[in-house]
Structure 1
Amino acid sequence: MIILDYWREIVFAVFCLVTFIQLFYYIAIFSRLAFYKVAPKFHSQQQPVSVIICARDEADNLARNLPGVLVQNYPTSNEVILVNHNSTDDTKYLIEEFQRTFKNLMPVSLTQDAMMISGKKFPLSMGIKSARYETLLLTDADCVPASENWIQLMQDGYKPETEIVLGYGAYTKAGSFLNKIIRFETYHSALQYLSYALAGIPYMGVGRNLSYKKEIFFKNKGFSSMNFIPGGDDDLFINKVATKTNTAIVIDPEAHTLSKAKKTWEEWFTQKTRHYSTAKYYQKKHKWLLGMYSVTQFLFYPLFIFTAIFFSWWIALCIFGVRLIVQAFIYFTTMKKLNEADLFPLFLLFELWMCVYYILFLPALFKKAKKSWN
C-alpha cells in the first residue's frame, strides 16, 4: 500500500502539524500573559468588599491563615464572612475568639446540608446571600494572602465593565520534588486560564483567589444549573458566566494567595482527580481548545523521537529547537510574573512529566467525583 511505503513522510508531516499547533498556542495565546502589562492607574478603587471563606473542620487552617485575611490594609468598608459548615472540631470556638478582636468577621453557621446540592456550593451560596456588599472576594480556609494589599490589588482589577477578576492561587515553596511538580502543574493551569482570559476566551477561575460581583451570581441563578455536580463552584461557574468583556486578571505577586501543597502523591492524586472530574462540563469550544493543546503536547515528544530515528535527526532537532526557544521564552517570562521563576531550570523535565501526567489523569475526565467538598 502507498501509505505503508511513505509512512516515514507521514510521521514527519504529523510531527510538523503538531509542532505548528503547539507554536500557535504559545505565540497566539500564551504570549498574551508573557507580554501582559498592567495599565497605570492614577487612583485605586476602594469599593466595599465581602470576603467569603467556607470551612468545614478547618480549625487548624483558620488559626494559621485567617489573621492574614482580617488584617488587610484596606480602609474602605469590608467584611470577612466565614461560613462554618457543619464543623465538628473547634472552629466555633476559634471564630468566637477572633470576633473579640476583629469586628469585621461575620460568621455564618450552617448545621445541615442541602438536599440534592453536593459539594461546596450550598455553604458558598449562603455566604454570598449573607454578603452586605456587591463586590465578592473568594478564598479558602487553607489559603493566606501573600500580602496585606491583597484586597486592594484584586479590586484594582475592576473597570466599569468588569464583573469577574481572576487571581492566582499559588502554593508555598518547599524542597521536595513533589512540591515542585504540584507548583508547576498549578502554574501550567494558570498559564492557560489567565492567557485565555486575556485572549477574550475566559473559561475558569480558582476558588482560592477569585472575585466577582454579587449581581452576576444572582442574575445567573447562582449554582442552580450545576447543583448535581460535586465541584464546579469556581471553574464551572466562571465557565458559564465569563465573557471577553466582563473578565479581567490580576497577577501582582502581592495579590496571590498561598496554601500548602499536598505532602504525599496519593493526596495530590485524589485532589487532582476531583478537580478534573468537572472538566467534562465545560463549554464545547473550551473543551476543544484545551483538548487540542493537551493532545499535541502529549504527541510532540514521541513524534520527535520517531522523526529523528526514521526520517532525519537534524531536521527533527531543528524543529524541536524552534519550539524549545519559543517555549523557553514564554515559560521564563510568565514564571517570573507569577513568582515561580525557580521552576524554570527544570521546565524540560516538567514537560516530559506532563506526558505521564496526561495518562494518569485522563480517567478522571470520565470518573464521577465524590460528593463531599472537604
Structure 2
Amino acid sequence: MKKIVLFSLFLLIFIGCSSDSSVGNPGNPEPTPAVPPVLVTLATTFPSGNIQFNATVQSLGDGYHERGFCWGYNTNPTKDLTNYIAADGSGTGNFFKITPYTDILDLGGRVYNVRAYAVTGNGIVYGNNLTMTTPLKYSLATTAVKEIYTNRASFNGNVISNDSHYGNVAEKGFCYSTSPNPSLTNGTSVNMTGMVTDPNALGDYSRVVQGLIMNTVYYVRSYGKDYNGEVFYGNEVSFKTAGQIGASGGYVFYDKGETTNGWRYLEAAPNDLTYNGSNVMTWGCYGSIIGQTQAIVGSGLENTLRILSVCTNNGTAAKVCDAYSVNGLNDWFLPSIEELKIFYLSSVGAYTIPTASPREYWSSTEKNMDQAQSYDTQYSSINEWEYKSYGKKVRAIRRY
C-alpha cells in the first residue's frame, strides 16, 4: 500500500512538470507579431505635364522590399486591383514618383483616389487615402490688365496644353463683364482671330478691347476652346477704367495697371493753361537743340526737366507747365507726344477737348533744333514737324 501511494505522488509531480516545460525555455519562444511600416500618403502634384505622387515612410517596422503608389476611381485602391507604380528607394522618410500623367491618367478634371503602399514579407501595407483631380486639356491664366484708358484697355492671358497630344487651341480670347464670373454665355467676348498671325497658338496673348465705360469696374477671364467645342477658362481679374476726377479737379485719363518707376496714373489739369492772358504759347528755343527727349509714355516729366535745363525762355510750353499749381499740386509737366495722344483718345465719351482752331497741343517731344511734335485734335493725328516758334495750346499733366 505504501508503494502505491508513493508511485501515485511521483506520477502527479511528473505530469505537472511536463505541462510547464515551456515556461522560461528560451528554446521555444512565443512567436513575435510582425511590425508593419507606417506610411502617409501626401498630396499629388502636376509639374510640367507630369504627375508626382508623394508619400513618407514614418517608421520602418520590420521593413519592406517594394514601395509605390496605387490609384483608382474608388476609395482605398489596392495594388492588386487597380493601377499602380513602384517608386525607387528604401528606408524611412519622404519618397515620390514622377511620370507623364497622360500615360496613366485621364485628363479633364477627373477625380482619382490614391494611396501609398509598401510590400512586406507578410503582405501589403497602405497609407491613407487621398483624392487628386487631373488637369484639364488646356490651362489658361488671366494676367493683369494694362494700359487702361477711360474707354479701352489691354487684356492679357496665357494658354498651355497639359497633354503633348493636344496642340493649338481652336479659339482663344477673353470674356468680360461688369459682373463677376464672365463667360461666353453671360458676358461680352473677344477672340484673337484676325489680331495676330496665328490666333490659335499656345503661349502669351493680349488684345486691346475698346468701347468700355469710363470709371467702371470690369471682370475679365481668358478662355480657350478645343476642336470638340469644349471651353476652358482662366482665373478672373478685375480692373477699373480711368475717368475719375483727380485731386486737381481734372480727369485721371490713364492707368498703367501697375506701379513702376514710382507712378501708375496720369492726371490732366482741369483746363488748358494760359500765359499773359493767351491760350497759346510757343515751344521755345527755336534754333537750339535740346536733345534726348522721348515720345513714349512715361517720358514727359523727364522731357520737361531736360527742356528746362537748356531752355530758360519765359512763357514757353514746358516752363508754363512747370510753374502751374492747382489745389496744392505743383508736380505738373508738358506731356510727351504719346501721353498727349492718350489724353485725347481717353476723352472720347468722357470729357471734351476743343477741336476749334487753335486745335493743336504742344508735346515735350522734340524733333530737331527748329521743330517739335504736336497733336491735332481735329484730325486725331500727330504732327511731327511743327516749328517751335508757332503758338499752340498747352495742357499740363502729372503722374502719381
TM-score, normalising length: structure 2: 0.22
Higher helix share: 1
Instruction: Tell which has more relative contact order, 1 or 2 (C-alpha 8 A, sep 6+).
Output: 1
Bigger CA radius of gyration: 2
